[in-house]
Chains A and B, each alone.
Chain A
Amino acid sequence: MTKSLLLLLLSACTLFVHAQDQTGGSLTIKGKIREKSSGQSIPGVQVTQKSNPKNVVVANASGEFTITVPGNAVLIVHALGYTDEEVAVAGRSSSLTIDLEQGGGGNLDEIIVVGAVVKRRDLTGSVATIDAKAISITPTTDINTAIQGKVAGAYVVNSAQPGSAATIKIRGNNSLSYGTSPIFVVDGVIVGDNLNSLNPDDIASMQVLKDASATALYGSRGANGVVIVSTKKGRRNAGEVHYNNWVSWSEFERKMKFMNAQQIHDLRADAFANQYIENNPTADRQAYLNRINSDTSNLVFAPYERDTYKSGKSYDWLGAVSQNGMAHNHTLDFSGGSDKGTYYLSLNYTDQKGLLKGSDYKRMGARLNIDQNVKSWLKVGTYTTFTHSITDIVDGSVFPTAVGANPLLPIDTAGLYTLKWADIFNQDQYNPLRSLYIQNNQYLNRLLTSNYINVTPIKDLNIRTSFSADIYNEQQYSYTPTTTGQDLRNSNHGNATHYKMETYNLQWDNSATYTKTFGEHRLNFLVATSLQQNTSNFDQITAYGFPNDDFSYMYLNGVMSRDKTVLGSDFVTTTLMSYLGRVEWGWQDKYFATATLRYDGSSKFGPSHRWGAFPSLAVAWDMSRENFMSKVNVISHWKWRVGYGVAGNQNIPNYATMSLYRPVYSSGSVYYNSDGRRGNPDLQWERQKQINVGADIGLLHDRLNLTADYFHIKNDNLLIDQTLALTSGFNNQVSNVGSMTNQGIEFTLDYAIIKQKDLAWNFRFMISRDRNRVTKLYGNTQAIYNKGGYTGVEIQRTGNYILGQPVNTIYSYKFSKIAQVGDTAKLSHINFGGRTVHPGDIVPVDKDGNNVINDDDRYVVGKLDPDFYGGFGTDLTYKGIGLTVFFNYSSGLKRISSLYEGGIQSDGMEAASVDMLKRWTPTNTNTNIPRAVYGIPRFGIGDVDLGVQDASFIRMSVLSLSYTLPKSIRKNVFDNARIYVTGSNLWLITRDKGYDPETGDGFPNTKSVTVGLNLSL
């Protein structure tokens, strides 16, 4: 294989050396090139005849050039650091002045793909671009968050935890269980999905490759989409300094409403009285209530609870563990260059204090990007960034425990290790104030570097080799002191964990590109090879029995409980090898075609299924360049695109082709044990076939731009972790078992409603829709269930794959009604499996009508993915004043909020939602909230679809006001000075009853106000 592709590469080298060139023309143009805002001339600019790229001149030191071209020619004006400009010479004077606009730093038009530099416009297929300006409107340190709602087809779900990145899916779900994240390619380096070590201020542009004709470039890894990230470069003949700073203050975006102490007291009295009557149907309810409410009774309320109740107080445990968040971020960058090359150096520092006490994220980073011409035919460069971050993680129990605490219980750390309700200590509710003592610090160091050598042996032939590395070093240290409930319960006497992981992802890419023009035909060839080796190793120690808490996790030497010590380590290597060829053809800038073939080999598969071929074809037609369109003035451009391609997915666990046995330590000896997984030597790639039809339309002199795409994806050989019949002796194996389809549409509208010198008003709208469906599982299987729960074998509500249904469904009983007094006789015939269903209780639908409620009565009651989602926003600028507002939305998705469900199932012995005030009582029967009763097993709202939340939302993610200082104030000190105030997440509409429809209930989401400053020298 290697040889044949090398022959191809060699022939590419030699063939085109002999190619002829053609010129022709009749008009001589003299021009001058200026920087648009300052009017200063730009030297060294390259001016090319578009239909004949061989005809190229370079402007002199004063920005002047002369070129001879045909009368109908179009010139491409290209300067590093500026946006390319196309100028038609027809009908214009032979003396031209061309203004170039700064391109936000670096050359936005060139990006690195599969190890080769390609023009952005040469990426055919469905590709969305987002530039630095769009990224910068959201003050965040996470780039996924920055692009939320701004790219059609990219579904971003935020995370509320400081230092953790938002998740992103391109075109929905295309795999059942092995990864839905796209791959990220940062300056040519393929990195995992942990991208929060990148500083958004360093990013020049991002391209999201969505359809298979584009993602086929990444073959076996492209099925979930590809995000290409290009960082900033310096500009020639300019020296610039930028300082960007923001400070933000945050608080809870919203809080779930729980009952206060007095309400909880009354709820509990009701719940116990109901239990009493349940057990003693003829007894006097009021007499019982009087008894339990008396001062001397300890039946239901503990003395401390009666004291709180009488005092009218209510204890806010969440308030006791939370704080106002504050964050600040600084980026200082220096850039510039000469004819020989450019540089960009940036330094970044960020510090975010989260809403829970002790939650903190700090990041320090530096980036150096250099491009240098060593010889006329030799260019070298590096794109390198180093990041160091420290995350102080608050113990995961703090927030849920504080939210679920007893408001009747005085806030106390003295003797209280676990929280209590009445006098029952809840073993699972560790006192959150004590849990704050748990230290958990994560340190990350990451070096991301891409280094290239580019040789131009003949004109238009570029041979490039690049060596890249993503070196990732993680250390995590935690210490649970003796003063916590966790420690007391487990009799640990202090325990510490050290975890150290190193990952080395090395990548070597070689590519050759050649561009050739034959008359009106333009051809572009690319051949490339890539080798990737990913190695990672970790070691972990957990030690128990500390003489004191004074040294935290730092000194393990003195631990006492040596027999409890847990040791762990592992070393893993995976490799991937690829060959790629691509031919692009263009005719008259009207018709375009691109054919790609990638051939990948992966160590994750067995020898007989190791290699896979991933072809793609894309064609495009620029209809607006046809003669019949020349009279349609309203249309400035209209391009049709059709693409088809095959991409793959190989995100399976390592060594899944083999059954593995590992040594285990037990009672002073060692034994070998299987990990329960049966090796499957027949594993293959998941294969994705995708067709995409789209159009890019520019109207009203490109003031109104529309992009629309339709896609249909068929995913076969889907990999899942299949549970096996238990008699096989193994629990599971990874198998290629199923198929699914996924189709959708995406639409983007960009409208410059007003475009005047001092006043500009833009509107942007994006909508995406995708629907997937499982079309085949193995054999005749109708469903693959996700088992879990207390016993490990109960069908879970999520994670099931059901034929004919979307991938991410909620599978539960359906709510029929709240049982009423008149239903008793009818309900007595139904076997509810030991659960009581009396008036006020939930009745599920008996789907099969057999009078037994069991797993056969489950329905698909919703899906976790939206019907459609996107964003819209507008910005208005008047002179130096700018106003931006941006909304994200998501519709048709459901969510499970265990927190809310628990709050509705409350019997006064756990936190209760205020919705329980509307619960069923003999006098309030017209309600869907079940009665309160203690200690009687019933259906909870989480057992039926009543508890499923409608997680649709519209969120105002950004509201920003900025002011750019006019030149008169900046004088000669600053090239640019801008201040802004941004409100994030200020406004949310949703029916979801939990904390947040998007970030869930696990960690509080924030709303914040940010004040920022951008200065340029």
Chain B
Amino acid sequence: MQIRNIIICASLTAALTQVSCKKFLDQQPKTALTQDQAFAKLDNIKPLISGLYTNWRNVRKDRGGFMFELGSDEAQQGAYQVMTDPDQAALDKYDGYMVPRNNALTGQWQNRWPIVVAAAQAVYALQNNKEDEATRTELLGEASFIRAGVNFELTQYWGKIPISDPARLDQLGTKRQPLDQVYAYIINDLETAVKYLPETQSDKSHVTKYAALALLGKVYMSAPDDAKVRNFQKAADTLNLIIQSGKYKLLTNYADLWDAAHPNSTESLYEYQFNNTYPDNNQTQWQMGSRALANLPSVGANCYFGGYDLMVPTMYCYSDKSASGLWEAGDLRKAQSVRYDFTYKGITPTLSTGFGGDELDPHVKKYEDPRTDGVMSFWYSGKNIFYIRYADVLLMYAECLNELGKTNDAVNLINSTVRARAFGGTIPAGLSWDPAMSQDAFRTNIMDERMRELCFEGWRRSDLIRTGNFVNLVKARNKWTRQSGTIQAFNQLYPIPLTETLQNPDIPASDQNPGY
């Protein structure tokens, strides 16, 4: 009996000691990299940076991609959207819903910060990496560009922002930094990008040195006074590097810019890469098209200019100059930018009961994707979206020349490039700009010219604020802003989202933007 007991106890002991607790309980993920692993080597950092490009691109997808184009003098929400979503409506109305808890704005703050922080982690890891120098520096240039690009958006919309720098985390924390610090940081990143980025990229989703120069030029022009870095000379010099390189030229035919058959053309410094397959489509037409078409039973979602009226042109933006609007006779850009005719395959849609009433008013045309027509829903629309194109570089450069007192040169540049193309190569009599126009007249004219050339491409808000036209022009031209009548100068900055002030001890509610 006793011997058997001992044998049993012993064998049990032996069996149990086979298992080491430590090993048994150490279960690492089998299908994911940990943070340490992800940033440890260039082979992993490279796809991480590709991920940053994709996340940056995704900010421009779908509804969210147009939140900051609303509430401008060129675009506003469709009436049905204003009726049904007060938070989003506030982006046009600048009313009591434009407050820290505004959900539409919170969403935009939310999707940008993970990109900034991950880019900062990549920069930090690359600064300490000891692998292949050429690869390391190129990646460093890319990560720096992305961080600068997204930070520039954040600071334009929200003003003072935290600086995400792992090397200085203890010192900076996550509190808002003064604008001069923020802009110095952005410019430093862009200088790094200019230094290390290649002149061309075979993978078009990656940025080049010239994209970095264009953005740097924009930053020098657009920085607010408090940032103490606005400098038209530096902006002009930077932009001139692009012009002098000879690598870019305007497409002869403005319409080709909006043809999916001409992606990444010689006019494109950088464009967000999309296609018609989820998740790489951008759903833009879903937001831009007309509900009247989407509701046609025989057509449904397969008409390429149907959609749900998130963003429509303001009356100013779709009207002719003769009707106190924007467009001059013969400007070929008008028909490419705005859709006026909604007849589809012989069907003339009508307004249905319950719509907002503006569904058959002119709509944004630039994002229409005829590749989807008849074969798939406009939800799959997926043309590339421009970040910066050469026409913008020329317009910015001309603006700098004007600010530097060289109005004559500025007018000649516009006449010979952007406006010439707009009229098919030759500007009709009387529409050529007068080289003798005053500096102020140029300032007014260039604002309209930028709208004609670049409307709905995402820079209008920045242009309005930079030129001091934000309140007066938006109030005059945006239907909902005018109706509400509540816009004020402080609305140039959006409120810091409530979720941030509640959860970030470094940004107390008292550190809110003025006016909110």
Contact = CB atoms under 8 A, between A and B. Distances in A.
Contacts of A669: 50, 203
B376 interface: yes
Interface string B38-52: 100000100111110
B370 to A, nearest CB: 15
Nearest to B163: A727
Given A676-B114, A723-B503, A577 B24 contact: yes
B55 to A, nearest CB: 7
Nearest to A418: B300
Interface in B162-220: 162, 164, 174, 203, 205
Interface in B276-328: 277-280, 294-295, 297, 300-302
A655 interface: yes
Contact of A672 (B19, B48, B113, B353): B48
Interface string B75-96: 0000000011111111001011
Contact of B96 (A610, A659, A660, A833): A833
Chain B, interface residues (CB within 8 Å), range: 35 or more
A927 to B, nearest CB: 25
B16 interface: yes
B384 to A, nearest CB: 11
B95 A834 contact: yes
Given A660-B34, A728-B174, A667 B273 contact: yes
Contact of A935 (B90, B101, B354, B507): B354
B248 interface: no
B399 to A, nearest CB: 33
B13 interface: yes
Nearest to B205: A667
B476 interface: no
Given A658-B34, A834-B97, A510 B12 contact: yes
A662 interface: yes
A573 interface: yes
Interface stretch (A184-192, A705-713, A788-796): A788-796
Given A603-B25, A660-B32, A673 B300 contact: no
A823 interface: no
Given A13-B9, A664-B54, A935-B83, A792 B107 contact: yes
Contact of A791 (B25, B103, B507): B103
Given A455-B8, A577-B25, A667-B275, A672 B47 contact: yes
Residue of A465, A663, A673 contacting most chain B CB atoms (<10 Å): A673
> In this complex, which of A455, A666, A787 has the most chain B Cβ atoms within 10 angstroms of its Cβ?
A666
A934 B34 contact: no
A726 interface: yes
B174 A299 contact: no
Contacts of B279: 666
B221 interface: no
A463 interface: yes
Contacts of B35: 658-661, 679
B307 to A, nearest CB: 12
B9 A575 contact: no
Dominant SS among interface residues on chain A: mixed
A728 B5 contact: no
Interface in A710-735: 723-731
Q: Which of B30, B89, B294, B354 has the most CB of A within 10 A?
A: B354
B500 interface: yes
Interface in A626-679: 654-655, 658-664, 666-667, 669-676, 679
Contacts of B275: 667
Contacts of B25: 575-577, 601-603, 610
B377 to A, nearest CB: 5
A88 to B, nearest CB: 35
Contacts of A848: none
B377 A531 contact: no
A457 B1 contact: yes
Contact of B352 (A1, A424, A679, A728): A424
A221 to B, nearest CB: 15
B332 interface: no
A663 B47 contact: yes
A2 B17 contact: yes
A304 interface: no
A9 B33 contact: no
Nearest to A574: B27
B106 A572 contact: no
B22 to A, nearest CB: 8
B109 interface: yes
A458 B96 contact: no
Contacts of B495: none
A476 B372 CA distance: 32
Contacts of B103: 789, 791, 793-794
B500 A726 contact: yes
A723 B503 CA distance: 8
A854 interface: yes
A490 interface: yes
Nearest to A563: B277
A835 interface: yes
A723 B499 contact: yes
Contact of B114 (A422, A601, A730): A730
Interface string B339-359: 000000000000011100000
Interface centre among B48, B280, B297 (most CB of A within 10 A): B297
Nearest to B50: A671
B47 A658 contact: no
B99 A854 contact: yes
A675 to B, nearest CB: 8
Contacts of B117: 727-730
Contacts of B245: none
Given A667-B275, A835-B86, A729 B51 contact: no
A159 interface: no
| Centre residue among A3, A422, A458, A661 by max chain B CB count within 10 A | A661
B151 to A, nearest CB: 12
A937 interface: yes
A854 B90 CA distance: 14
B51 A779 contact: no
B26 A603 contact: yes
Contacts of B15: 510
Nearest to B87: A791
B19 to A, nearest CB: 6
Nearest to A792: B107
A424 B354 contact: yes
B120 to A, nearest CB: 8
B11 to A, nearest CB: 10
A729 B118 contact: yes
Contacts of B128: none
Most central of A455, A457, A564, A725 by chain B CB within 10 Å:
A725
Interface in A557-578: 563-564, 569-577
A729 B114 contact: yes
B101 A855 contact: yes
B54 to A, nearest CB: 5
Contacts of B24: 531, 533, 575, 577, 603
Contacts of A607: 26
B441 interface: no
Contacts of B33: 660-662, 672
A575 B96 CA distance: 53
Contact of A726 (B53, B354, B497): B497
28 contacts: A6-B16, A13-B5, A299-B353, A300-B353, A424-B295, A424-B352, A427-B294, A488-B301, A490-B377, A491-B376, A577-B21, A658-B29, A659-B34, A660-B33, A660-B34, A661-B34, A661-B48, A666-B280, A667-B280, A672-B51, A673-B54, A727-B161, A728-B117, A728-B174, A781-B502, A793-B497, A835-B86, A935-B83
The 8 closest A-B pairs by CB, nearest first: A729-B117, A725-B504, A491-B376, A671-B50, A671-B51, A834-B86, A660-B32, A603-B27
Given A417-B300, A728-B117, 10 more contacts: A423-B297, A425-B300, A455-B8, A458-B5, A531-B19, A666-B54, A679-B35, A726-B110, A791-B88, A833-B96
